[in-house]
Structure 1
Amino acid sequence: MKILLAGDSTVANCPTEEFPMSGWGAHLAPHVHAWAAVHNFAKGGATTESFREEGLWQALMDTADAGDMVLVQFGHNDQKRQHLVADAGYAMNLRRMVREIRGRGASPVLCTSVERRNFHGGVSVATLADYAEAVGGIADDMGVPVIDLHDWTSRLYAAAGEEGAAAYFTHFGPGTHAHWPEGIADNTHFNQHGASLVAGFVAQRLREFRDGFHEAIKVALEVG
Structure 2
Amino acid sequence: FIHQNKLNDILKVIQPNDYLFIQFGHNDEHSGSGSSPFTTYKAALQQYIDGARAHKAIPILVTPVARRSFDSQGNIVDTHGNYPVAMRQLAAADNVQLIDLTALSMAYFQKAGPTGTKSLFFFLNAGVSPDFPNGVADNTHFQVNGAIQVANLVAGAIKAQNIQPLASYLQ
TM-score with structure 1 length normalisation? 0.69
- The question of whether the paired residues in 1 share the 8 Å contact of 2:70 and 2:77 is answered with yes
Residue of 166, 182, 185 corresponding to 2:137: 185
2:164 corresponds to which letter in structure 1? R
Contact 2:19 2:57 (8 Å CA) reproduced: yes
Q: Which residue of 2 aligns with 1:54?
A: 4
1:158 and 1:129 map into 2 onto residues whose CA distance is: 18
Residue 166 (str. 1) matches residue 106 (str. 2):
no
In structure 1, the residue matched to 2:16 is: 66
Structure that is richer in helix per residue: 1
Residue aligned with 2:164, SS:
helix
Distance 2:3 2:84 in 1: 23
SS in 2 for 1:108: strand
Residue correspondence of structure 1 range 1-224 to structure 2 within 5 A: 51-80=1-30, 81-121=32-72, 122-207=74-159, 208-211=162-165
Q: Which runs of 5+ in 1 are unaligned?
A: 1-50, 215-224
Structure 1: which 4+ aligned runs deviate by more than 2 Å?
80-83, 203-208, 211-214
Q: Name the CA distance, whole Å, in 2 between partners of 1:198 and 1:104.
A: 28
* Equivalent-residue separation in structure 1 for 2:33 and 2:6 (angstroms): 22
Structure 2, unaligned runs of 5 or more: none
Shift of 1:105: 0.5
Structure 1 residue 180 displacement after superposition: 1.8
Sequence identity percentage? 29
TM-score by length of 2: 0.89
